[in-house]
Structures are given as structure tokens and as C-alpha cells.
Amino acid sequence: MNRKLQTYPGVSPIYLESDFYGMADSLRDQFEAQILGAANQNGGITPFSHAFCPNAFQFLTASAASVFSAGVLDDVIGKLRSWATETLGTTSVSTPQTRLYIQGCWRDLLEDGIGMKWHYMLSITRNRKASVGRVKLLRLDAAKDGIQRSVAVGRMTKIRLGFNQLLVHSTGALYSIESPKISTNPLDGVIFLDGYLW
């Protein structure tokens, strides 16, 4: 298996793996079929909903089950589970959400605030512009002072996620997604399968 795994140093590791999923082209094809099919059959209504929280985020989202076939979705979840078991020692994988970032979409530097240990993002973005798919991660390394209070020391990492790259980081890390400088056409957008491992 052609596998490249990078682990960034620090208390909160970041895993970045290229060419993660062997059927990534099928994921992308099914996403495109949903968008083009909506234009031709559903009067332009896609499965995506608008998610918005003032000063926090704005993006389009859909359950992966409403975008991808059950067979491909089960297969990618199985691949994520195998990777997580081998790499992290975990066995549970959430069904991903499909996150779509077009012009005007973004996520501020925030923590997820969820009980699972790891967050994953699998990119099926085909846009190769340098400004597309940028993720910033702030890892918080806790140190104790003499009064036993936690002191956070941050380390910022910037990553551009390309097609079929998997990013996994601790849910304790803050992360943001830059607003892509692109059109509002979903086919040009930044698309992630987004979920959790524990």
C-alpha cells in the first residue's frame, strides 16, 4: 500500500495522510452527481443545508448518507476504522457529515467541544488553487505552574488539504477553515467528509 503519514511534533499530534482512500474518485463522482442532478431534476435543490453561527462559522452541510451510496460510505468508514485502529488504537468512527465551503463560507478558530478524542477530515476537493482548502490548527500544550493552574502554550500549524488527503487531530485543538476565494459553484468548493474517532 502506497502510504505517506506525517506526524507533527507536539503534545497534540496531527496526522496527515495522502492518497488515503482507494475509491476517492467514486466519492467525488457521487458528490458531483448530486450537485448536477439537483440542477437537472430538483430545481436546483441540493441535499445541503446552510449552517451558521455568528462570529463562529458559515458553511453548507449534509449527512454523508444523503450524498453518497451506502456501499461507498460503508467502505470509507471501514477504511477509517482500520486506519484508526492501527494508528491511534481506537475502533469507533462516526458517520461523516459532508461539509462544503464556497465563497463566503468559513470557520473561525474554534474547538469542537465534543467528547470524542479525534477529529478527522477527508478532502475530496479537486480545486488546485493555492488558496483553497487551507486549514489552521492551534494545538494547546498544557503546562502546570506552581499553583496547579493550566497554562496553554499554542502552536499554529497551517495545512492545505488536497484531494484524497486525510487530516486527523485531537478534538482539543482549535481549528479554522479559511474562506476560499472562489465562486459559489459547489463543484469549485472545498469538500470534506468530517467526523470523529474514539
Q: pLDDT truncated to tens, each residue of the chain (198 aa)?
A: 334 445 555 456 889 999 999 999 999 999 999 999 887 787 888 999 999 999 999 999 999 999 999 999 999 999 999 999 999 999 999 999 999 999 999 999 999 989 999 999 999 999 777 667 899 998 765 443 333 334 455 578 889 999 999 999 999 889 999 998 889 999 999 999 999 999
Task: Determine the structural domain holding residue 76 and report its residue range.
Answer: 4-197
60-97 burial: b if 16+ Cβ within 10 Å, else e: bebebeebbeeebbebbbebbeebbeebeebeebbebb
Residue pair 167/120 in contact (Cβ under 8 Å)? The answer is yes
pTM score, two decimals? Answer: 0.87
CB 168 within 8 A of CB 141: no
What is residue 148's predicted lDDT score, i.e. its pLDDT? 39
Question: How many domains, the chain?
Answer: 1
CATH number at 49 reads 2.60.120.620
State residue 140's pLDDT score.
65
